[in-house]
Amino acid sequence: MVRSAKARTALSSTSDPLRLAILISGRGSNMATIARECLERRINARVAVVISNKPGVAGLPTAQQMGLRTQVVPSSGVGREDFEKALTATLDEHAPDLVILAGFMRVLTAPFVRHYSGRMINIHPSLLPKYTGLHTHQRVLDAGDTEHGATVHFVTPELDGGPLILQSRVPVKTADSEATLAARVQATEHVIYPRVIAWIADKRLDWNGGRPLLDGKHLTQPVVEDFP
């Protein structure tokens, strides 16, 4: 990964802190969790910018209260090409080592994704490759599945289709509603997403041209962690 000169003085550490750009479209609970882990130096990284494609979302004041720089790059009423051009320009101003999609509700085009190839990760609320797309919790309930979870993966042009890194697995309980299941899964997201970022910051995880290596071993399957 390319490291920027700016990052080198930000934290005293044995290696340079990773510069993060976090993209949100809503509440930003994953963003806030990741930012807190960085501010409290449990991850050797710092949040260079939080970007929302929607003005007025709850994640923006949350980020500002944490002392983070925020920017809005509006997507509404803007063509896809113009939006991505503006997003690229804003992102590149901050020279991120890693772009983190955290509830960012825009489908990204292949050229945009390729620009950040190996430097962009996402969290999706399902045990990928099951349930790509939206409304995952209700679809899991409708199918009568007994387990569900979340997945952190590298982003490739295929929607929710890049190499899988880490999954949280939770039981689906008979009394579950969409809301209770979503809450159980989201609590696990706040554990697994910072963990993957720490792996990258500590150089334990590498994109390796699309065949990710964790601690020197190929990740042919995601690492799976069980939660109650």
Q: Which of 116, 101, 212 is nearest to 223 (CA)?
A: 212
Concerning whether 115 is annotated as a catalytic residue, the answer is: no
Site membership for ligand GRF, residue 27 (CB under 6 A): yes
Site membership for ligand GRF, residue 125 (CB under 6 A): yes
Cβ contact 23:86 at 8 Å: no
Site membership for ligand GRF, residue 150 (CB under 6 A): yes
Q: Which is nearer to ligand GRF, 13 or 180 (CB)?
A: 180
Q: Which is nearer to ligand GRF, 16 or 189 (CB)?
A: 189
Q: Which residue is nearest to ligand GRF (CB)?
A: 103
Site membership for ligand GRF, residue 37 (CB under 6 A): no
**What stretches of 67-204 adopt beta strand conformation (E)?**
70-72, 98-101, 120-124, 147-154, 164-171
Q: Which is nearer to ligand GRF, 19 or 54 (CB)?
A: 54
If residue 21 lies in a helix (H) or strand (E), which one and from where to where? Answer: strand 18-24
Taking the complex as a whole, the smallest distance from the CB of residue 216 to ligand GRF amounts, in Å, to 29
How many other CB atoms sit within 10 Å of the CB of residue 134? 9
Residue 145, judged by CB atoms within 10 A of its CB (0-12, 13-18, 19+), counts as middle
Known catalytic residues are 124
Residues that bind ligand GRF (CB under 6 A): 24, 26-31, 102-103, 123-125, 150, 186, 189
